Structure 1
Amino acid sequence: MNSIVRNVFWGELICLSLFLASCSDDSEPVCTLPISTKEMIYQVAQLTINTENAAPIMGKDKKDYVNCTFIIDSEIEEWDYNGTGRIRGRGNSTWLWYPKKPYRIKLDKKSEILGLATEKDWVLLANYRDPTHMMNTFTFIAGEKLGLPYTNHSRYVEVTLNGEYIGLYQLTEQVEQGSSRIAVDDEQGMLISLDADDGPELNPNGGDNFWSTVYRMPICVKHPEDATATQLKGVQDDFARLEQSIHDSDYETTARLMNIASFIDYMIIQELVYNVEVDAPRSIYMHKDKNGLWTMGPLWDFDAGFDFDWGTMYTGHNYFTSYRELVLGTDPVNHTGGYRVPSFFTDLFKNKRFVSEYKARWTEIKGEIMSEFWEETRRFAVGCSGAMKRNAECWPIDKNYQTEITRMKQWLQQRTDYLDTVIKNYPSGTK
């Protein structure tokens, strides 16, 4: 986080505090009292994109990039931007199924965008399925506050594309290796995704895909980019050693291969937001630096959490029905009452030391979920309230964003209380 963001984020919150105190839970986040420039980090910038010859953005492959210009107008003058680059579509279901499209941006020149670290590659998340616009943001905030490395940041922009207003978007970093992104070694660092949509089943000819050795999970090697057969074999063998130690619930060996603290925090977050995509798995990232430990993250893609109704995945925006559904279940080792997630994520629960540390970490952080993670999310929601209204007029759905944000808060409160009982009663382990 650079000095501007740090000063904004940790600056005086006097005006915002008064603002939040004046808003009732029932009416949030539509109160309209002004907030000071110290809180502009939570405000919405204006992003204008003009493609060359007003060319449409037709696809999400590398060949589909379209040349364009970008202009950002921010309440923080230092964040204004004018530059050139390329844009294309991105995503899987979000690109194919929904009318509001997400985009991938590649600038011609590495640049600091809205106070975020200098790079070329950025993402515009449409959040069309998410009626709150806050599901990814809440999770990113949780990851950052828990200390998960390389957690993405949230900025919000209203986008005008070739003269047409296309709504409220979440701007964030592209998940990739780099000195200002996932800063693992250029040659010997590793970044992988565990992803059924990016693995060998859907990419049988992809040179960067393989099935993991022990748990047979779909793996895509993101770094080294364009990995050679030798490099790919090296990643596969290295990951297999970690898998075997987890399969054996051998805490000491696993601790020599993986940052167990990151694993605990990562899984607590997955359960907290009920991210059932761990089951596939999808969008699960891990990284490893030269001579370092496998580490979970960055966190990515949470609009299928929060008790999303998969029965309406093509058209629905239905969340928050039940706070009692579980990913890991009441007995993670045996998948009792939960999803049949790969046992890579549960076999360590056989180990007494691991279970003890997991429970202790939950006890340590549970009080921060609403007092810190939610409160910062709420500030973003307040700052975005006007833009949410305009977005709803542009992309009308069968949900009211004000109501859904209130439901999200209530769901998180209830779920935190419920998980407190569930986690405290996890079996203590047998090894």
Structure 2
Amino acid sequence: MRYRAVRPLPLLLGIVICCLGLGCSNSERIDNEVVAFWDIEEDATPLSTELNYLPIDDSEYPYAGIPRIVIETENHREIKDRETEIPAKLQVWGADAPESEVMELTIRGRGNSSWTHSPKKSYKIKFNTKESLFGIHKDREWALIANYADKSMLKNYISYKLFHEISDTWNPQIHFIELYLNNNYQGIYAFTETIKKTTHRVAINDNDFLLEIDAKTKANDQTIYVDGFTYPFKIHWPKNANEKALKQVTEHLDNFQKFISSDKVSKGDEYSQWIDAEKFTKYFWLQEFSKNLDAYYTSSFLIVRENGLVEMGPLWDMDAAYGYPGWDVNATIPTDGFRQKKIWLLPFFKNKSFSQYADSIWKEMSPIIKNYADSITSIGMLLEHPYVNEEKKWHKLESSLNPLHHKGYSSYTNAYTDFRNWYINRLDWLDKNSNKLNLKI
């Protein structure tokens, strides 16, 4: 095996990484030196133990126009589960040279069905110290999302960018990269912020709660159950909440559920004492627009403020949306009615003033959503080249037998064009029917 390797030369590294229009950031200096290349034979001293770079063998999967992240685990240990944090090193590469220093971190698996059913795994990484990649604010914790079930690779990206523009709720920044793990190519990934309480992510107060509706909680998760609601709520903040805090938020959500189930919800404006109507409604419409199968089932985050107001968001995990077949045929058809039939917000639509307000919010959102249709095409075109590597690795485009793949495509262009067509047809239908939701309850 031959490795691409680097030798220091006395120059200044001034390369700018441009991440598919997601924002550009200056690459870091590497000891004030730029790099040259030569071949190193297989029996040479392992590169990463002595020099300030990690090896990358890109002879089979060459540079394709987006940044590469190279990760090497300790002793090349395999990542076998979602619990074991394995020490590792990470470096960002551009076309010909490293774009960052070597950074130390731990890595583990992440995801639910994607971890169980997908051969292409997603990962959670945690740096030893706070790091900034691709111009995003420094933090220790990040995610590498495989997007294996989404043949367009664009559903999470478009959704996060869209929600960021529509709502003032913080939502993760996201960048496309190609991943090399222990010198093996892994494919196109979304490098993204994780959802956590911090001043530059979910900027809530210490006495607020960050929760997640999650039907797939694990044994060690801290959870609560609310009367009248099917699925558990996972506590993300406060960490290791005490019994008093758990009782407080449970009682509040129990009372919230009672209010929703009562006649009071359809009268007056008492709803404004329970929810941040604007944030709640914008989150609802984006989930309804996308027909997300996971909405209010798993990966659905909410904030309960100290003053009692409930906010939905941030948005997370949208690959089971925009026509994903799954278990609900209705969800695959963009013009076949409303999707969110049994969730918190629907009873509010019995209230005439709220229904009118929600319709006005949709009319504000619709032009913004429409503008993003062209982004599906433009970003898809930018991924055409790296998708050659992705398809060579995973052979998923034409597959329709895998539990995560129910529709095959002859080309990547067809995959993202199909997403765009569904998106436009759904938008047209909702524009004509958004004011009729109260009639469906």
Offset, 1:113: 1.5
1:189 is aligned to 208
2:239 is aligned to 225
Check the 8 A contact 1:352/1:428 in 2, yes or no: no
Worse-superposed segment, 149-158 or 211-220: 211-220
Q: Where in structure 2 are the equivalents of 1:17-416 lying within 5 Å?
A: 44-61=66-83, 64-74=84-94, 80-185=100-205, 187-198=206-217, 203=219, 208-248=222-262, 249=265, 252-278=269-295, 281-291=297-307, 293-310=309-326, 322-326=333-337, 329=338, 338=339, 340-342=341-343, 344-371=344-371, 373-397=372-396, 398=398, 399=409, 400-416=411-427
Check the 8 A contact 2:166/2:368 in 1, yes or no: no
- Larger relative contact order (C-alpha < 8 A, sep ≥ 6)? 1
Check the 8 A contact 2:355/2:435 in 1, yes or no: no
Amino acid at match of 1:241: N
Aligned partners of 1:307, 1:324: CA distance in 2, in Å? 11
**How much is the aligned-residue C-alpha RMSD, in angstroms?**
3.0
Residue 132 of structure 1 aligns to a residue in which SS? coil
Check the 8 A contact 2:89/2:102 in 1, yes or no: yes
Offset, 1:188: 0.9
Q: Deviations over 1:297-331 (max 9, x none)?
A: 010111111121226x9xxxx999521234xx3xx
What is the percentage of aligned positions where both structures have the same residue? 22
- The alignment of Structure 1 onto Structure 2 pairs a total of residues equal to 370
TM-score normalised by structure 2 residue count: 0.77
Distance 1:353 1:81, change over 3 A: farther
Amino acid at match of 2:286: I
TM-score normalised by structure 1 residue count: 0.79
User: Who wins on radius of gyration, i.e. which is larger?
Assistant: 2
Distance 1:74 1:295, change over 3 A: farther
Offset, 1:402: 1.2
Check the 8 A contact 1:43/1:380 in 2, yes or no: no
Q: Deviations over 1:235-264 (max 9, x none)?
A: 112223333333331663331232110111
Amino acid at match of 2:428: D
Q: Deviations over 1:103-159 (max 9, x none)?
A: 000010111121111111100000001000001111111101102411112101100
Distance 1:81 1:152, change over 3 A: farther
Amino acid at match of 1:134: L
Distance 1:321 1:234, change over 3 A: closer
1:425 is aligned to 2:436:
yes
Q: Identify the structure with the greater helix proportion.
A: 1
Aligned partners of 1:376, 1:52: CA distance in 2, in Å? 39
Q: Which runs of 5+ in 2 are unaligned?
A: 1-16, 25-63, 399-408
2:38 is aligned to none
Residue 286 of structure 1 aligns to a residue in which SS? strand
